[in-house]
Amino acid sequence: MRFFATALVLSIGLTLTARAEGPEIPSFARDVPQIKTGDPVFKFNGKDLTGFYTYLKTHKYEDPNKVFTVQDGVIRVSGEEFGGFATKEEYSNYHLIAEWKWGEITWAPRKDRARDSGILLHCVGPDGAAGGQWMESQECQIIEGGCGDLLMVGGKGKPSLTCEVRVGPTDKQLYFEKGAKPVTRDGGRYNWWGRDPAWKDQLGFRGKNDVEKPSGEWNRMEVICDRGTIVNIVNGYVVNIGTDSSLTKGKLQFQSEGAEIFFRKIEVRPLLK
């Protein structure tokens, strides 16, 4: 990866310091890579879904229930039907910036479960190949308590990804830990380093080390995709790093998955050497 320093306060000027009663932050989470980027090659225009298209499990390219709308400069995803809105173009070697927050509405079958969404990277192949609603891709998970997990979303193929991980002492799941043993998978999930081992799929769940803001507050997710490496940064902290991705180029898709979510900023900037 083309890193230029071991730490950086990114463009919004976030100060990487923990709150007095906030999460316990490992040192590697503060090692935000310094990058050089060009002007945006794509961004949400604040008015409509120009540059995007929508796809839903039941209604395909139609949206009769208005799952995706733009209101007051913000994209609203109702969550009523599973699917997503995706970029029309493909991108590689970029810095993605997305600012989002949860709404209050949830829908069956996840009405009483953790609010759930995600950003799918390097989307390839046909729409709906993954579960009838998404594309084959690498996912940066957005879910209460698990914001920052990396998932491999299979479609016609099975994308693979490598992550340095520790094994949870009780749940035996894999958690990102820089410098730990690398593991390669073509399915499943790599938890972000602070995901609570006692996580429950229940509405409003928060873990003791969550860096995601409380529901209703704006979050900033930044993803650096540099060839086969994916660095996931949530509110100024590196939460997960995947390497040797089998997918390195594709569309971006933003999920509708049973919970209302808003996006006020989506921006793709090319990485410069």
The DSSP annotation for 181-241 comes to EEEEESSSEEB-TT--TT----TT---TT--SPPTTS-EEEEEEEETTEEEEEETTEEEEE
Q: pLDDT band for position 21 (50/70/90)? A: low
Distances (CA, A) of 127 to 69, 84, 179: 20, 10, 36
Average pLDDT over residues 259-271: 98
Query: What pLDDT, in 10s, does the model give residues 184-235?
Result: 999 999 999 999 999 999 999 999 999 999 999 999 999 999 999 999 999 9
pLDDT of residue 273: 85
Query: Which residue is listed with tokens 């003791």?
Result: 208
Query: What pLDDT, in 10s, does the model give residues 73-115?
Result: 999 999 999 999 999 999 999 999 999 999 999 999 999 999 9
Query: What pLDDT, in 10s, does the model give residues 128-171?
Result: 999 999 999 999 999 999 999 999 999 999 999 999 999 998 88
pLDDT of residue 170: 85
Q: pLDDT band for position 18 (50/70/90)? A: very low
| Topology at the third CATH level for domain 27-272 | Jelly Rolls (2.60.120)
Burial (0-12, 13-18, 19+ Cβ within 10 Å), 107: middle
Average pLDDT over residues 112-126: 98
As beta bridge partners, residue 250 has 91
Residues 245, 159 contacting (CB under 8 angstroms): yes
Q: In this model, does residue 255 exceed pLDDT 50?
A: yes
Residues 174, 190 contacting (CB under 8 angstroms): yes
pLDDT of residue 249: 98
pLDDT of residue 20: 39
b/e map 75-94, b = 16+ CB within 10 Å: bbbbbbbbbbbbbeeebeeb
Cis peptide before 270 (omega within 30 of 0): no
Average pLDDT over residues 52-64: 98
- Residue in 134, 132, 102, 80 with CA at minimum distance from that of residue 251: 134
Residues 243, 229 contacting (CB under 8 angstroms): yes
Look at 116 and 16; give whichever has higher pLDDT: 116
